[in-house]
Chain A
């Protein structure tokens, strides 16, 4: 019914008036989970006519703007997966349903996370709210399952440059938290790292040995992993390629990393003995 559309568009208009830049994602704030305009990939927003029309829509309130997608269809998709008790939110159950429809495995396929990241599901872990969904659909220009499916190839993490990937990687941590917890359980981290860091984002040997270290360490304080430790691991992989150059006395890396290097050194020594 027209009223809902109007209401929906109006809301979008005020939203866009408040945050004109976010939609196009040209700002480089690292805390924003929206697209950054650097990589290639599937459905990218283009500049030009549609943007100006959007902006027009934003500046004058009340005027019906023409979006590039069928918002009603996008909204319907959301309603299909939203939570029964809270229709404003789609949690993991709903997201799994979406994945089924798309033919990807939410437990193993990193593209689920990439999709959610690109859609901007940042507010709370393990869920995406209606606003984020609609915004995301608009940004990615999808309003049907088929369009989502067409999007899939572009969700490969191999396409992301380092900065974008760092952002995505951080999102992986944040999204997988439980409720208001600020940390992840170690076991989850061990399962999650290979998924997030697949496709050679970091050398596989480093990834493997780090997971081995996490598994074998008896230190109680590592039963939960903090965001700082999570992020530092990636930066560490980027900056320290050769463990032999690692100097603990001057390193600012978290103690977790120091202990990992120690673990590796001991392994090498034991290996030599044999």
Chain B
């Protein structure tokens, strides 16, 4: 038939416009004739048959012919045939457009193009696809092994697969016939590689290979595969070469995560971090190793301190080396986490966890809380470390970070307050601003309640200096021959001090009276108690022909005054005259008669004060210096451990009562949990909380529930 020959011609020629028009016209004529001369159906059928026959008789054998000759050859042939088919399909469709427009639509048949494709699929594709897939996969494997392959060829065949998914944009054929086998092959390939690599490569080297493989696979998809395959291939590769050997890589001896940390291999660690973050829960094992590593580093610092103490070194409440080592460790890993681990939260938590363990390991007589507080003291006192402002701020910042890990924060607060008081009262603080800065930082960490007393102390001094000029003016009105100033401390803010009721000389007493009068006029509701154990004085003294300015404490000044005019007293007499007890008088006399500057002569002359000793002014005293400071041992202990314990008992009880009052009735475990969550500055043992509960039951704030031995009721 004419049409047949014309159809087969169509496959060979690319048709000029005229040729096209002739064919089109012919079709048109055939389809628009009245029935039974309307040849639409026949035409449609013939179209299909023709294509089918052609494929069957010409194309398929040609392919089969090439199939035994190697993948590339087959693929090339397939490509060629497919291209031809696409052209033929296109032109046939053009020629028979009229069919498409009316007959096909009218009868809801597949369009000519679709039919053409369908035929190709059924006849050619289905028979050839397995071999084609196999060929492609071998090519890909070759490329993986480093060979060069014809990427464009593969790409063309992939397009064939893509087009074989009939029914819109369906990738069904591609997915099932190419992608799935490819995934399986990929898996097998990388499983093999993994075994190879893991046996001989160190972790960093292995990871470099992983990085490379993942990049290659990604590029491969972009170059000649369908984009839908990218995530699937990636998952397969990640699974085979990362997930399955994750623990192996992390723990590999000589090159695992721990070793990399120990040797600061930041690039390798960063690579490891980035690769493992691809996996589900891939970072937790790594973070755990990091945590345990940092903990062991911290423990090493603690052990070093322990060794120092064991070797007989004298125990002091000051160990700047130890504190600094912890600070440095923290800073280092803060940086590592920021840069190597992109500040990831799991690693931040790891750092926090490890420091919470390390910082709370107390060794020796002095707690870490005390060591840290003394460290601050060094930074904040004048004549301590010579630091400029920004160094001071940095130091304080870092110590506060370390402080945040401390469990016994209330202990730190107690010691810090004591040391702060000493600095302030002895004018040994290098800078008011630095003190305020530190308190502000603590406030940010712990809240207002924590720092209220400290702020109160600073405030007292500020108020004092404001009112100083006013009082000075008042003093000038009286003639006391003593220059005198008073620091008023608000009870409760400051530590409690001993208040020995020493008998003062008349001129001192007068000064006190003037002040009291002035003060009471200003503040009627306030009561003053004099703390003579604090306080300083400058005593102008004349020994022989030379005069000296002795810088001493108030009590020392009172003693010196007693020895005017060459008087002699024995210990017991002094006790009576001064109205002091042994505990106070002994160190007092020691400082004046047994120290470096023996302004008082003691008989007998030894280093211990006995109640049988007698004292007199040392007429022969002399020194090269004019201004002499005579130190004295502090009369008050550094801090009262018992008080901290007591305060804790009260705090726990207050928390229990508060909680029970609100909840009325509560189960035991819930009460314990609530109490612990409310206590931010220390962490009591559950037994200690229980003891407080029992005490409250005894005092009838609570009762055990009669129905349930596990519950408590609040008793109003």
Closest to A228 in B: B697
CB-CB under 8 A from A109, the residues of chain B are none
**Nearest CB in chain A: distance from B215 CB, A:** 52
Interface string of B697-716 (1 = CB under 8 A from A): 11000001010011110000
Is there a chain A Cβ closer than 8 Å to B643's Cβ? no
Does B687 count as interface, using CB distance less than 8 angstroms?
A: yes
Secondary structure at chain B's binding surface: helix, strand, loop or mixed?
Answer: helix
Q: Distance (Å) between the CB of B595 and the closest chain A CB? A: 42
Partner of B669, one of A226, A227, A250, A255: A250
CB distance from B41 to the nearest CB of A (A): 86
Considering the chains assembled together, what is the distance between the CA atoms of A252 and B671 in angstroms?
10
Check if A255 sits within 8 Å of B709, measured CB to CB.
no
- The answer, yes or no, to whether A251 is at the interface (CB within 8 Å) is yes
- Chain B positions within 8 Å of A251 at CB level: 668
For the complex, give the distance between the alpha carbons of A182 and B697 in Å.
12
Say yes or no: A239 contacts B709, CB within 8 Å.
Answer: yes
Distance (whole angstroms) from the CB of B570 to the closest CB of chain A: 43
**For residue B686, which residues in chain A have a CB less than 8 angstroms away from its CB?**
249
> Is A80's CB within 8 Å of the partner chain B?
no
- Mask, A159-188, CB within 8 Å of B = 1, is 000000000000000000000001000000
Q: Is the beta-carbon distance between A252 and B710 smaller than 8 angstroms?
A: yes
In the assembled complex, the CB of A183 is this many whole angstroms from the nearest CB of chain B, namely: 8
User: In the complex, which residues of chain B have a beta carbon less than 8 angstroms from the beta carbon of A255?
Assistant: 687, 690-691, 694
| Measured CA separation A227–B698 after assembly (Å) | 8
The residue that B668 contacts in the complex, of A226, A229, A252, with Cβ under 8 A, is A252
Query: A228 with B694: in contact, given A250-B668, A251-B668, A252-B668 (CB under 8 Å)?
Result: yes
Q: Does A30 contact B (CB under 8 A)?
A: yes
Per the bound structure, the CA–CA distance linking A252 and B713 in Å amounts to: 13
CB contact list, B659-707 vs A, under 8 A: 667-669, 686-687, 690-691, 694, 697-698, 704, 706
Tell me, yes or no, whether A37 is within 8 Å of chain B by CB: no
Bound CA–CA A226/B686 (angstroms): 20
For the complex, is A254 an interface residue (Cβ under 8 Å from B)? Answer: yes
The chain A residue sitting closest to B711, CB to CB, is A252
B709 touches A252 (CB 8 A): yes
Specify which chain A residues have a CB less than 8 angstroms from the CB of B710 in the assembled complex. Answer: 252
> Across the two chains, which residue of chain A brings its CB closest to B689?
A255
B646 → chain A, closest Cβ, in Å? 15
Question: A194 to B340, alpha carbons, bound, how many Å?
Answer: 69
Q: Contact check, B698 vs A182: say whether CB atoms are below 8 A apart.
A: yes
A232 to B698, CA, bound (A): 13
B694 touches A252 (CB 8 A): no
- Shortest CB distance B303–A (Å): 31
Q: Which residues of B contact A229 (CB under 8 A)?
A: 694
A212 interface residue (CB < 8 Å to B)? no
B645, chain A: closest CB distance, angstroms: 14
A78 to B686, CA, bound (A): 51
Q: Is A235 an interface residue (CB 8 A)?
A: yes
Any B CB within 8 A of the CB of A258: yes
Given the contacts A251-B668, A252-B668, A30 and B694 also touching, CB distance less than 8 Å: no
Closest A residue to B697 using CB positions: A228
For A239, list chain B residues within 8 Å (CB).
709
Complex contact A235–B709 (CB within 8 A): yes
Chain A residues with CB below 8 A from B704, complex form: 228, 232, 252
Determine how close the nearest CB of chain A comes to the CB of B704; give it in whole angstroms: 7
Residue of B nearest to A229 (CB): B694
Q: Is the CB of A254 within 8 A of B698?
A: no
> Bound complex: CA of A228 vs CA of B709, how far in Å?
12
Q: Which residues of B contact A227 (CB under 8 A)?
A: 698
Distance of A232 Cα from B690 Cα, bound (Å): 14
Contact B687 A258 (CB under 8 A): yes
From A226, A235, A252, give the contact of B698 (CB < 8 A): A226
From B669, B694, B711, residue with most partner A Cβ within 10 Å: B694
Residues of B contacting A232 in the complex (Cβ-Cβ under 8 angstroms): 704, 709
- Chain A residue with the shortest CB-CB distance to B705: A252
A182–B668 CA distance with the chains assembled, in angstroms: 24
Given contacts A235-B709, A254-B690, A255-B690, contact A228 B668 (CB under 8 A): no
Q: Which of A235, A249, A250, A254 contacts B694 (CB 8 A)?
A: A254
Rounded to whole Å, the gap between the CB of A45 and the closest CB of chain B is 26
Across the interface, which residues of A come within 8 angstroms of B691, CB to CB?
Answer: 255
Distance A255 CA – B698 CA, assembled complex (angstroms): 14
User: A218-261 CB contact bits vs B (8 Å, 1 = yes)?
Assistant: 00000000111100100100010000000001111111001000
B698 partner residues in chain A, CB cutoff 8 A: 182, 226-228
Cα–Cα distance between A81 and B484 once the two chains are bound (Å): 76
Residues of the B chain whose Cβ atoms lie less than 8 Å from the Cβ of A253: 709
**Nearest CB of chain A from residue B277's CB, rounded to whole Å:** 37
* Residue of A182, A249, A250, A252 with most chain B CB atoms under a 10 A cut-off: A252
In the assembled complex, the Cα of A96 lies from the Cα of B690 at a distance in Å of: 40
| Chain A neighbourhood of B711, CB < 8 A | 252
Shortest distance from the beta carbon of B683 to any chain A beta carbon, whole Å:
15
For window 20-71 of A, CB contacts with B under 8 Å fall at 30
A235→B704 CA distance, assembly (Å): 11
Residues on A with C-beta less than 8 A from B667 are 252
Instruction: Name the residue on B nearest A182 (C-beta).
Output: B698
Q: With the chains together, A232 CA to B667 CA distance in Å?
A: 16
Measured in the bound complex, the distance between the Cα atoms of B698 and A182 in whole Å is: 9
Q: How far is the CB of B701 from chain A (nearest CB, A)?
A: 12
Residues of A contacting B687 in the complex (Cβ-Cβ under 8 angstroms): 255, 258
Q: Which residues of A contact B669 (CB under 8 A)?
A: 250, 252
Residue of B with least CB distance to A253: B709
* Docked pose: A228 CA to B699 CA in angstroms: 11
How many Å from the CB of B289 to the closest CB on chain A?
29
CB distance from B313 to the nearest CB of A (A): 34
**Cα of A253 to Cα of B669 in the assembled complex, Å:** 11
Chain B residues near A235 (CB, 8 Å)? 709
CB distance from A86 to the nearest CB of B (A): 29
Residues of B within 8 A of A249 (CB): 686
Residue ID in chain B nearest A163 by CB atoms: B706
Beta-carbon nearest neighbor of A258 in chain B: B687
A258 to B687 alpha-carbon distance, docked (Å): 9
The CA of A27 and the CA of B593, in the complex, are separated in Å by 81
Q: Which residues of B contact A182 (CB under 8 A)?
A: 698
B693 to A, closest residue via Cβ: A252
Measured CB to CB, the nearest residue on chain A to B706 is A30
A228, A232, A235 interface centre (most CB from chain B within 10 Å): A228
Complex-state Cα separation, A249 to B697, whole angstroms:
20
Chain A residues with Cβ below 8 Å from B668 are 250-252
Question: What is the minimal beta-carbon distance from A217 to any residue of chain B, in angstroms?
Answer: 15
Give the CA-CA distance A252 to B706 in the complex, in Å: 13
Q: How far is the CA of A102 from the CA of B669 in the complex (A)?
A: 50
- Collect the chain A residues with CB atoms within 8 Å of residue B706's CB: 30
Give residues in A with beta carbon < 8 Å to B.
30, 182, 226-229, 232, 235, 239, 249-255, 258
Task: List B residues at the A interface (Cβ < 8 Å).
Answer: 667-669, 686-687, 690-691, 694, 697-698, 704, 706, 709-712
24 A-B pairs in the complex with CB atoms less than 8 angstroms apart? A182-B698, A226-B694, A226-B697, A226-B698, A227-B698, A228-B694, A229-B694, A232-B704, A232-B709, A235-B709, A239-B709, A249-B686, A250-B668, A252-B669, A252-B709, A252-B711, A252-B712, A253-B709, A254-B694, A255-B687, A255-B690, A255-B691, A258-B687, A258-B690
For the A-B complex with A228-B694, A228-B704, A255-B690 known, give 13 more contacts whose Cβ atoms are closer than 8 Å.
A30-B706, A182-B698, A226-B694, A226-B698, A227-B698, A228-B697, A232-B704, A232-B709, A250-B669, A252-B710, A254-B690, A255-B687, A255-B691
* Interchain residue pairs A-B with the least CB separation, the first 10: A252-B668, A228-B697, A252-B710, A255-B690, A254-B694, A226-B698, A255-B687, A235-B709, A250-B669, A255-B691
